[in-house]
Amino acid sequence: MEHIHRLPTPSPTGPIEPERPSLWRRIGTAALAIGALVAKFAAKLKLLLIALPKLKLLTTSGSMLVSIAAYSLFFGWTFAVGFVLLLLVHEMGHVIQLRREGIRASAPMFIPFLGAVVAAKSLGENATAEARVGLAGPVLGSLGAAALIPVYLLTGDELWRALAFTGFFLNLFNLLPVVPLDGGRAMAAMAPWMWFVGFAALVGVTIAFPNPILLIILLFGGMETWRRWRQRRAGGEAQEAYYRVTPRARAAVAAVYVGLIVALAVGMDVSHLPRTLG
């Protein structure tokens, strides 16, 4: 029996092409692909952020080097090194006192043009401890700046005198009675209502000498002052216990606070470098 194989009849319109997806389907496919890439990148970014604190760039020494490099662009590397070391001495005052209060504190982390910060879970169990932690920075920082005066007298190099003046000024500025500055910490034990006086003074300084750093401090100071005041006004046993300060402790904090202001003002006067224009 003969088998007949029939060849397929060609389509009159030519070969059949596969159906092309619609425009919206193509857009959706592209969006899914982009979304997958973003998700993959975000996952890697999350891992990077978790690892950042362990990177050498963000350790105390690494952040110090970054700050020195930033300040040296404006003031020269010798002044930048001295300035960052003065910041380190100030911050170590906070670290030492925090650890004396039994609170675990991180090593200082330096932020160019914003100083340095120390991370801790709290500033103490009450306002008196908070004041001690706050004032410890200016106390040690003032001693560090004062130690440069004999160096200047022995060497005659006015770099040391300029560094001393800068150290005195920065520690005095930190005593403005507004949180989160050190003076605001002292006011927690002395007179919390002074936070608003300090904030008004900071507003005046910012208007007189406008710059981004003061604006940032003003912003955070305003938010922190309002938060602390509302928290205190809300009352409660915990709040009352926190701000319960004995007259003796209040007098001691006031003595250190006022004494620091006087000493730093004298230090600035002694180390001031007169400048002549021309």
User: What does the DSSP assignment read for 119-179?
Assistant: -BS-S-SSHHHHHHHHHHHHHHHHHHHHTHHHHHHHH--HHHHHHHHHHHHHHHHTTSSST
**Dist CA 129 CA 252 (whole Å):** 12
CA atoms within 13 A on the CB side of 236: 8
Same domain, 90 and 45: no
pLDDT band for position 7 (50/70/90)? Answer: very low
Render pLDDT for 119-154 as a digit per residue (tens, 0 to 9).
888 888 899 999 999 999 999 999 999 999 999 999
The number of folded domains in the chain is 2
Q: Percent of the chain scored above 70 by pLDDT?
A: 78
Same domain, 33 and 140: no
Structural domain includes residue 96: yes
Range of the domain at 112: 55-271
Same domain, 262 and 162: yes
Structural domain includes residue 219: yes
Whether 93 has a pLDDT exceeding 80, the answer reads yes
Please report the pLDDT score of residue 18 as a whole number.
52
Dihedral class, residue 113 (left if φ above 0, else alpha if ψ from -120 to 50, else beta): left
Render pLDDT for 49-65 as a digit per residue (tens, 0 to 9).
444 444 444 577 888 89
Same domain, 42 and 82: no
Same domain, 29 and 162: no
Same domain, 36 and 140: no
Structural domain includes residue 85: yes
More confident call, 92 vs 229: 92
Please report the pLDDT score of residue 124 as a whole number.
83
Residues 19-37: what's their mean pLDDT?
Answer: 51
Structural domain includes residue 179: yes
Please report the pLDDT score of residue 278 as a whole number.
43
Same domain, 31 and 115: no
Render pLDDT for 203-230 as a digit per residue (tens, 0 to 9).
988 898 888 888 888 898 889 888 888 8
Choose from 53-57, 109-113, 258-262 the range with maximum mean pLDDT.
Answer: 258-262
pTM of structure: 0.74
Same domain, 120 and 153: yes
Please report the pLDDT score of residue 62 as a whole number.
84
Same domain, 35 and 131: no
Structural domain includes residue 19: no
Positive or negative, the Cα torsion across 50, 84, 140, 180?
negative
Residues 224-243: what's their mean pLDDT?
Answer: 85
Same domain, 185 and 111: yes
Structural domain includes residue 61: yes
Same domain, 248 and 218: yes
Structural domain includes residue 183: yes
